[in-house]
Amino acid sequence: MGNISSLNDANFSESVEQDSRPILVDFWAEWCMPCRALAPVIEELAQEFDGKVRFAKVNVDECKTVPAKFGIRGIPTLILFKDGKKINELVGNQPKDRIKTMLDSAN
């Protein structure tokens, strides 16, 4: 996962909500085929936006508090945070261009 960090209930607040930098959080699960299809796109974008946007993943099977806090009902769900606040969200497997447009809005 290179420059994509793994977040959980214990470190989410410190890593996302208490940081002013933009971060895209991918809520996913191992068994989710659309999540697996989206993973290489997220990895490409993490390289393209290196230094501009941070990337992280939250496994919804391992973390219950954070997904519940943000009302995650379907996966994959991508939430873009800036200044610790949710500024955008996409649900489902999305085309790279659509995610890129969302990321560009954070800068």
- Residues with catalytic annotation? 32, 35
The separation between the first and the last C-alpha atoms of the chain, rounded to the nearest angstrom, is: 23
Following CA atoms 58, 64, 70, 76 in sequence, which dihedral angle do they give, to the nearest 10 degrees? 40
Strand order in the sheet with 77-82: 4-7, 54-59, 23-28, 77-82, 85-91
**DSSP tag of 96:** H
Tokens 């949710």 map to which residue?
A: 86
